[in-house]
Amino acid sequence: MHMFFIYVSVILSIIIFIPLYRVVTGPTIYDRMLCSGSIATSSMVLILMVGFIFNRIDMFIDIAMAYSCLNFIGVIAFAKYLGTLGKRRKNGT
């Protein structure tokens, strides 16, 4: 079971590189933000896997919780900022 967690974390850290391509070469800024959110959710699962590998899950669960909170607040603040930007452009300034 310990080896299985190591395999899963290796596969996850390979999967994280796929949205990173879209972050680097995204056509719009929304694509970049969406894919960085996807990277954050994948790395939250990776943190939980690392906690099970080192047998310190009681510490790593709190880190994962804080990480998912930070991801949500970042995406919401970004969407709010871009929404006000669109409203300002509609008025013509």
| Separation of alpha carbons 61 and 32, rounded Å | 27
Burial of 47 (0-12, 13-18, 19+ CB in 10 A): middle
6 binds another protein (CB under 8 A): no
Length of the chain: 93
12 binds another protein (CB under 8 A): yes
Shortest Å, Cβ 16 to another protein? 8
What are the phi and psi torsion angles at 26 (to 5°)?
A: -75, 140
Task: Tell me which residues touch another protein (CB under 8 A).
Answer: 1, 4, 8, 11-12, 15, 18-19, 21-22, 27-28, 30-31, 33-35, 37-38, 41-42, 44-45, 48, 52, 57-58, 61-62, 64-65, 68-69, 71-72, 75-76, 78-80, 82-83, 85-87, 89
